[in-house]
Structure 1
């Protein structure tokens, strides 16, 4: 994934001298050689283009983004959040950039664009087992009823934010794990932040750590927490001291 990403970014910079970028890799307590691989890219491209942030203990996707300041330490006008598995084609960021430009003329306007796999749902349903489809539809219904409407795919790990949107959203979130994306979009909609959804290329990557039954139960619980705790003021939008979850 990193080879493809760096090749794409270097090519864009070569073609447009005004284009600058940085890649921030958050190592969320992994026990493999992720850090060594990441440091290899830091050495090759320089610390101004590639940075490594590390956790000793795994905190989940939300925790890595929030507590590791993966998005909060970005220096660019736009912030792309992308999973490290390479399931989404990096060049699709241009589709998101085009959509974001229509929502916000500059980075001071809070707005975000969600990469979406909703257009692939028919194929995904055909390939999944009946049980996994039941879990999927149940999750979508729960998200729609309790938290987020108007977004067909909340979970795609390919989202583009203006810098001001990232600063607002990631200092307000509390959820650490799989439902973290739902909370981000819930906060955005509560604030009236412009949100768009753009279809992206996507491929299934083997080796996912998502355990269907337990993960869906945990996500369902977290979605309930999002709605109830914000509704009753236990969690407040704008807090820069998130509670651990």
Structure 2
């Protein structure tokens, strides 16, 4: 005999549902639909198309009518001896529907799987297969501030001619950029005087700014020379990840450092990330990544944050750990040092151009078994952040989920990078 146990569920309109064994035979793993569209538009909805199997169509009809609170004739299942009757009972009388726990659970599982299937479909269908590595014609050149002539940027595929490249992504940073540049260039010049074998370049990447970020960068280029400071002006905003990617692809350094334009990280801490990178002892492929970390400051920042922002922070950290990257406590610190080969390999595969690009970068590195280390750096919060707490975290959460789904479904692949024009 079929064991049955009833539970009451508050629904609009009272109906009675009898659970039968055919529910267990339904192909749950093949159902993908937009239930909201199906309920709104009815059987004419395009969301019905994945439900071509008889069992799927019947259960969708049941779900739609239950949510609407409508009565319906008994719903049969072709190929089964039993049926799933849906009987009207006292519409508007305040009664509630009776449904067996197993039936309710399986319907919820079906809807959850349908939603997941739809999400996977959207992630796969909207994915741009290849990373955006194309530079516009104007983006291939930098202005020599002294001669006022345009010169061609080199390529990451060329041999290195500098010891260090510093990439500074900048979007509307007219006010904050000078502080960072003064600190960085003072350190780099002093190091150059102490060590004649040391050489450097700083590439300020203007990410489609609407202020005078490019002009500010060019003042430093004129002061220190275009061999030391160059400005890459993007014709349109690409996002922080896209800006850094364009800078990396145009760099000359044997080692490449990402540094934020706000100067939140003490620039002299480059010595810490350099020491940690050398401790990794990159192998013959010369690939390694050293990440600056603010994780040691987490307790202090929690004390000054609202509960909501703290919850968002922990939620984001969990998603990073669960979906993409493990073993790195602070993926979002903008102070990272890469060997040239590691930068060439990872950035040539990078798809995400916005805030979550760090996560994909480290995900790629871990998939390719590139050694990664993390070291504490001195960090101070600077006013003027472009990060909007709620919406930026929401965007990053979506990007994290899509990163995982797109690599799992094969929409994105870890292919060997090709030379960039």
What residue number does 1:22 align with? 201
Task: Check 1:226–1:105 CA distance in 2 against 1; reply closer, same or farther (3 A cut).
Answer: closer
What residue number does 1:172 align with? 349
What residue number does 2:69 align with? none
Say whether residues 1:36 and 2:205 are aligned partners. Answer: no
Q: RMSD in angstroms over aligned alpha carbons?
A: 1.3
1:103 Cα deviation from its structure 2 partner = 1.4
1:239 Cα deviation from its structure 2 partner = 5.6
Task: Check 1:149–1:5 CA distance in 2 against 1; reply closer, same or farther (3 A cut).
Answer: same
Say whether residues 1:2 and 2:181 are aligned partners. Answer: yes
Instruction: Trace 1:133-144 onto structure 2 (pairs within 5 A).
Output: 133-144=310-321
Cα distance per residue 1:106-164 (max 9 Å; x no partner): 89511100000000000011111110000000000000000000001000000000000
1:105 Cα deviation from its structure 2 partner = 4.9
Report runs of 4+ in structure 1 exceeding 4 Å deviation: 105-108
Cα distance per residue 1:11-66 (max 9 Å; x no partner): 00001111100001100011111111100111111111111101122111111122
User: Highest CA radius of gyration, 1 or 2?
Assistant: 2
Equivalences, count: 239
Q: Distance in 2 between matches of 1:49 and 1:29?
A: 22
1:238 Cα deviation from its structure 2 partner = 2.9
Matched-pair contact (CA < 8 Å) for 1:99–1:113: yes
Matched-pair contact (CA < 8 Å) for 2:282–2:371: no
Matched-pair contact (CA < 8 Å) for 1:85–1:205: yes
Say whether residues 1:45 and 2:221 are aligned partners. Answer: no
For residue 270 of structure 2, the aligned residue among 93, 104, 115 is: 93
Q: Distance in 2 between matches of 1:46 and 1:106?
A: 35
Say whether residues 1:63 and 2:242 are aligned partners. Answer: yes
1:212 Cα deviation from its structure 2 partner = 1.4
3-state SS, counterpart of residue 77 of structure 1: strand
Q: Distance in 2 between matches of 1:238 and 1:93?
A: 31
Task: Check 1:218–1:170 CA distance in 2 against 1; reply closer, same or farther (3 A cut).
Answer: same
For residue 81 of structure 1, the aligned residue among 258, 279, 292 is: 258
Structure 1 unmatched runs, 5+ = none
Q: Distance in 1 between matches of 2:211 and 2:197?
A: 37
TM-score (norm 1): 0.95
**Higher RCO, Cα 8 Å, sep 6+:** 1
What residue number does 2:112 align with? none
Q: Distance in 1 between matches of 2:208 and 2:416?
A: 26
Q: Distance in 2 between matches of 1:195 and 1:105?
A: 10
Q: Distance in 2 between matches of 1:147 and 1:6?
A: 35
What residue number does 1:11 align with? 190
Matched-pair contact (CA < 8 Å) for 1:27–1:54: yes
Structure 2 unmatched runs, 5+ = 1-179
What residue number does 1:221 align with? 398
